[in-house]
Structure 1
């Protein structure tokens, strides 16, 4: 049986770890060649490319700061030269800064906006004209269930993730008639390096609060990315799918 993403080329930002890494591998298993960028995570990125090539697909990796438009454009150009033009963009790169609302500095706010909203906006803009010219493409933006419910101590994170959902819906209106489908994924709590750093007490507390009694795995989020990237996602645009273990029901 033909792999659902056979012959496609996927770009994944923040692809060396967590949801990005799981999605890059899932895309390769579904038949796509995969280019990733990362923020100075060379060793992990190299092992990911090895995992992609072990599945019979081509891989490419490059360090790039998604808060800098010049680096976004450099990654796009290098990935296209190495693999070809982008058919599937997974806008995954992100970060978090935890501070009470009254203590958030302008520099912290600007960095969060740059990596999340500015980075996703201009990464999508970098690949969008080519998708339109070729008659189609998929743009998938990683948001968060916290955009839907909010949380104390991470006001900026919740705000930028909500902005990603708004960006997704607005671009979907403009891109849909041109054959480009734009959707978001709003994951719930997932076991990654970032969440493991919160400690076992955090994991136990959050797990107990969820109807499923556990936090998610990156592969459970990458399954949604493959859905939206492939034939099964052909009637989704402007959607926000939220695999979150029941943390938010809507």
Structure 2
């Protein structure tokens, strides 16, 4: 039985990723911050979708040591982790020049440090198993500039580079590492965020050559592709799922 650990799994891209992996027969360990009921609901959906087992736990990945504790909990529950999906992330939109140290530290702890240290923590188990898959969920904002996105974009660019370095170092141990960069996706967060600014949704959609926002399930399918046999010869790649946003 293959096991996937998915962070930020209570909603949006993380939840859809869990369901996509469940449909491929993986057992799930689902993690999010302070959303035990949502995680339990996601676990029920995953079992219905085909997961042989689905467990969950809440962790605040902005707290030093939480990523390592999360991996330890997954290993204690299942004895192995075959796929690690580092999806948890937060945003902090401000004009450059107004960010505080607290903004900087808080965002990087979740968006970068958690993925970094969870990946390190899972290595001994993956080495003992003879391999594994690690996927960082980055963003198209790690590739292009946008207003008020200096801190968020920096964190996602770092994730893309982290995936490349990890892939280079770990390839000979059978550990595949890649990243996925979603573009404008119709998550609950984005729908609410864009809705606060008149015309924002239309402005974002106009920049997508395919003429629409993506769906969380479309990103999830890309992640599942990299997590399973279909993506067995892909290493150190950033798979952009943005409807063409970054080709302009």
Q: Which bin holds the TM-score, normalised by the shorter protein?
A: over 0.9
Q: Does the CA-based 8 Å contact 1:60-1:83 persist in structure 2?
A: no
Compare 150-159 and 61-70 and name the one that shifted more. 61-70
How far apart are the structure 2 equivalents of 1:150 and 1:170?
23
Please state if 1:118 is matched with 2:113.
yes
What is the alpha-carbon distance in structure 2 between the residues aligned to residue 50 and residue 137 of structure 1? 25
The residue that corresponds to 2:187 in the other structure is 192
Contact 2:10 2:38 survives alignment (8 Å): yes
Match of 1:100 among 95, 99, 108: 95
* TM-score (normalizing by structure 1): 0.94
Instruction: Please state whether the residue corresponding to 1:197 is helix, strand or coil.
Output: helix
Structure 1 residue 43: Cα displacement: 1.8
Contact 2:4–2:29 at 8 Å: present in 1 too?
yes
Matches within 5 A, 1:1-250: 7-57=1-51, 58-200=53-195, 201-249=199-247
Structure 1 runs of 4+ with >4 Å offset: none
Unaligned runs of 5+ in 2: none
Distance 2:49 2:206 in 1: 37
Aligned equivalents of 1:247, 1:199: Cα separation in 2? 17
**Cα drift, residue 25 of structure 1:** 0.5
Tell me the TM-score normalized by structure 2: 0.95
Which secondary structure state, in structure 2, belongs to the residue aligned with residue 156 of structure 1? Answer: helix
- Contact 2:92 2:152 (8 Å CA) reproduced: yes
The number of aligned residues is 244
Aligned to 1:85, what secondary structure does the other structure show?
Answer: coil
Aligned residues of 1:136 and 1:180 also touching (Cα < 8 A): yes
In 2, the alpha carbon distance for the partners of 1:38 and 1:243 equals: 23
Secondary structure, counterpart of 1:227 in structure 2 = helix
Structure 1 alignment gaps of length 5 or more: 1-6
Instruction: Give, in whole Å, the separation in 2 of the partners of 1:60 and 1:148.
Output: 34
Contact map agreement 1:69 1:122 (CA 8 A) in 2: no
The answer on whether the counterparts of 2:59 and 2:70 sit within 8 Å (CA) in structure 1 is: yes
Q: CA RMSD in A?
A: 1.2
Is the 1:9–1:84 contact (alpha carbons within 8 Å) kept by the matching residues of 2? Answer: no
Q: How far apart, in 2, do the equivalents of 1:164 and 1:47 lie?
A: 29
